Amino acid sequence: MTNHRPLKIAIASGKGGTGKTTLATNLASYLAEKMEVVLIDLDVEEPNSGLFIQGDLNHEEDKFKMVPVWVEDQCTLCGICQKVCNFHALIQLGKMIMVFPELCHGCYACSELCPESALPMVPKKMGKLVHYKNHQLHFIESRLEIGEEQAVPLIRQTRKYIDEHFKNEIICIYDAPPGTSCPVIEATKDADIVILVTEPTPFGLHDLKLAIETMIKLNKRIGVVLNRYGIGNDDVLNYCEEEGIPVLAKIPNSRHIAELYSQGKLIYRITSEVKNEFDKIISNLGILIN
């Protein structure tokens, strides 16, 4: 047992485009000036963190999910496979069994319940994981193949890669997908803290409330970072105050930041004001933990 507290920080948001990736990449790079940090992009549908991080390729691997494949000459067309698949990932068409791998959740029911063993499970590529390293910063990204509908299995395998390759005491920052449904839940599953990034607008507030409800249901400790502070109104701040949710930092609304972001540049050093806000996040995180 180590005395260190495992620290897994997930950066999420209800609404997309509020600054998750900005926060994740800047926070990770800033922390990496002082300690070893792992940044993991779990927004596997549209991974963007890598556009802001440079490093040397350390490792890459294809990621597979297991799907059934039909072995015609062993099949007696009994129809059990079609009946047991709750996801309509295989159907019987005349004298053929058609498999739709994109719809398969990999539950093995068809394969293991087939009396003739005519549906062995085989790996199918669903994405690719890359691992870059830049001094103390590790960056891991997984990227879903286009047309593959399910992000969850790839997110799950990516989390597993982290568990297997890094010790508990290293800080991990997860860039989560937007929304409140299954990919977000998978991405925040083992996080000790979830930072929700929002903007002070009606859309930001509405989606923040949904994200907070979700994280409360998952028993997560949460903090909010307000991005583009100064635009919109004070409703988000008032809401957080009423609900007793800590606001870790307020990153100012600035066209200059938007421009730097558009070029793929980090922003935590541009002004002392911005750097201050990142310092606040780091010190507030300490408070959140203890």
Partner 1 sequence: MKEIVIISGKGGTGKTSLAASFAYLGGKDVVVADCDVDAADMHLLLEPDFKFPEDFFSGELAYIEQDRCIQCGKCEDVCRFDAITHNNLKFIVDLISCEGCGYCARVCPANAIINIKPNVGKWYISTIKTGSIMVHARLGIGAGNSGKLVAKVKNKAKEIAEDEFKEFIIVDGSPGIGCPVVSSLSGASFVVLVTEPSVSGFHDLKRVYELVHKFKIRTACIINKVDLNFSITAEIEEFLEEEKILLIGKLPYNEDFTAAMTYGQTIVEYSNGYLRDLVVNSWEKIKQALINIKYLK
The contact set with partner 1 (CB under 8 A) reads 14-18, 21, 43, 45-46, 48, 51-52, 84, 86-87, 105-109, 112-113, 144, 146-151, 177-183, 185, 201-203, 206-207, 210, 213-214, 217-218, 231-233, 255, 258-259, 261-264
Residue (144 or 191) nearer to partner 1, CB: 144
Q: Which residue lies nearer to partner 1 by CB, 66 or 288? A: 66
Rounded distance, CA 127 to CA 43, Å?
12
Closest to 157 (Cα-Cα) out of 85, 86, 61, 68: 61
Contact 50, 72 (CB under 8 A): no
CB closer to partner 1 out of 260 and 282: 260
Q: How far is the CB of 214 from partner 1 (least distance, A)?
A: 5
DSSP character at residue 68: E
DSSP string for 95-109:
TEEEE-GGG-----H
Helix ranges (DSSP H) in 218-269: 235-243, 255-262
Q: How far is the CB of 57 from partner 1 (least distance, A)?
A: 18
- The CA-to-CA distance between both ends of the chain, in Å, stands at 19
Q: How far is the CB of 149 from partner 1 (least distance, A)?
A: 4
By C-alpha distance, which of 129, 148, 142 is closest to 61?
129
Q: Which is nearer to partner 1, 147 or 286 (by Cβ)?
A: 147
Distance CA 251, CA 74 (A): 62
Q: Which two tokens stand for residue 88?
A: 């309509």
DSSP lists the bridge partners of residue 11 as 175, 195
Beta partners for residue 142, in sequence order = 129
Smallest distance from partner 1 to CB 258, Å: 6
C-alpha dihedral (196, 199, 202, 203), degrees to nearest 10: -60
Closest to partner 1 by CB, 110 or 171: 110
Smallest gap from Cβ 118 to partner 1, in A, equals 18
Least distance to partner 1 from the beta carbon of 24, Å? 12
Q: For residues 203 and 282, which CB has a smaller minimum distance to partner 1 in the complex?
A: 203
Cβ closest to partner 1, residue 153 vs residue 223: 153
Gap between the Cα atoms of 215 and 74, Å rounded: 48
d(CA 132, CA 40): 10
Q: How far apart are CA 35 and CA 108, in angstroms?
A: 43
Q: How far is the CB of 191 from partner 1 (least distance, A)?
A: 14
Beta carbon of residue 34, minimum distance to partner 1 (angstroms, whole number): 27
Which one, 262 or 290, has the nearer CB to partner 1?
Answer: 262
